[in-house]
Amino acid sequence: MTEKPIAGIDPASKAATLAAALPYMRRYAGKTIVVKYGGHAMGDEHLADLFAQDVVLLKQIGMNPIVVHGGGPQIGQMLERLKIKSSFIDGLRVTDRATVEIVEMVLSGSINKQLVQAINSAGGLAIGLSGKDANLIRAKKLERARRESDSHIEKVLDLGFVGEPQAVNADVLALFERSAIIPVIAPIGIGGPGETFNINADTAAGAVAAAVKATRLLLLTDVSGVLDKEKRLLHDLTLSEARALIADGTIRGGMIPKIETCIEAVEGGVEAAVIIDGRVPHAILLELFAEGAGTLIRRRRPGDQ
């Protein structure tokens, strides 16, 4: 008995798609891919299921996916429910001792386990971690300064328990690479005795990617990628081009720290970092196994001196 086409796709088209993807699958076989997951896609149940399926597929065809997730909106909702006031400075949540406890509870607890369950339900074998487990992410207090516009005096900002990665234990992640397990990491870092730090998920993903010398760092966002001044998508940038776009104001606002994360990751040994739209179904597969779906940032283009 002949099987019916799935989702309206005829068998010949499916075969052609697989054949076209095969060279990309060979290219990435055995390679490590770090994916930062968050934003709109995390709050959409259908997109979350597709994301889990895609991650499982990467593992099943011989790649080594590592997931680092965010959870800003969910943290905000929990703080509001508990009537804990929260403020932001330069896009970073000021995190006092009471707030960091809620941040850890939400990130390492509910969000992490929901994502682990989704991957397991899709046929994978995921395990949830935070940066505290096996001292995976050692962190220090993030130091930020702001120059006052009227006096031009530089003022040091106190963000509380907001941290930045100091070291990532790549040996721990190497154990998962040699197994069927997919690590899912909450961006909580450990500092000195009793110190817990809330780390920006993009920053944590970049540090993890650099530590394991990933082939790709994929940052899933709520935009299609980096746009030029005419709002056209830029598909490919070198490090110098990315820096120039920041300097001339083309890249601005919340995109700046994402690009800076990509630059630091590539300088740290990642082959390339990509900003892609997590709202697009199967965005990861489109980026890795087709012609690309976002903005790729690398040290230099092939053939450049």
Q: Where are the domains of the chain?
A: 29-298
- pLDDT of the residue at 236: 93
Give CA separation, 216 vs 198, 207, 248, 256, 291, in Å: 24, 12, 27, 19, 15
**Where is average pLDDT lowest: 40-44, 126-130, 287-291?**
40-44
Query: What distance in Å separates the CA atoms of residue 209 and residue 273, rounded to the nearest whole number?
Result: 9
Contacts for 7 with CB less than 8 Å, ≥ 6 apart: none
Give CA separation, 101 vs 182, 228, 238, 282, 299, in Å: 26, 40, 39, 34, 39
Query: C-alpha 71: how far from its chain's center?
Result: 11
- pLDDT of the residue at 90: 66
- pLDDT of the residue at 33: 96
- pLDDT of the residue at 17: 67
The listed range with the strongest mean pLDDT (30-44, 48-62, 283-297) is: 48-62
Per residue in 257-286, pLDDT tens?
899 999 999 999 999 999 999 889 899 998
> H or E stretch including 68?
strand 64-69
Q: Extract the tokens encoding 73.
A: 């909106």
Q: What are phi and psi of 85, to 5 degrees?
A: -75, 145
* pLDDT range class, residue 3, cuts 50, 70, 90: very low
Query: What distance in Å separates the CA atoms of residue 32 and residue 176, rounded to the nearest whole number?
Result: 11
Provide Rg for the chain, Cα atoms: 20
Residue 209's nearest CA partner among 41, 11, 67 is 67
Say yes or no to pLDDT of 1 above 60.
no
Per residue in 60-94, pLDDT tens?
999 999 999 988 788 888 888 888 877 777 667 77
- pLDDT of the residue at 146: 59
At the topology level, CATH places domain 29-298 in Carbamate kinase (3.40.1160)
- pLDDT of the residue at 5: 47
- pLDDT of the residue at 147: 57
Per residue in 119-163, pLDDT tens?
999 999 999 999 999 999 999 988 775 555 555 555 556 678 889
> What's the whole-number average pLDDT of the chain?
86
- pLDDT of the residue at 275: 95
Buried b vs exposed e over 209-230: b needs ≥16 C-beta within 10 Å? bbbbebbbbbbbbebbbbbeee
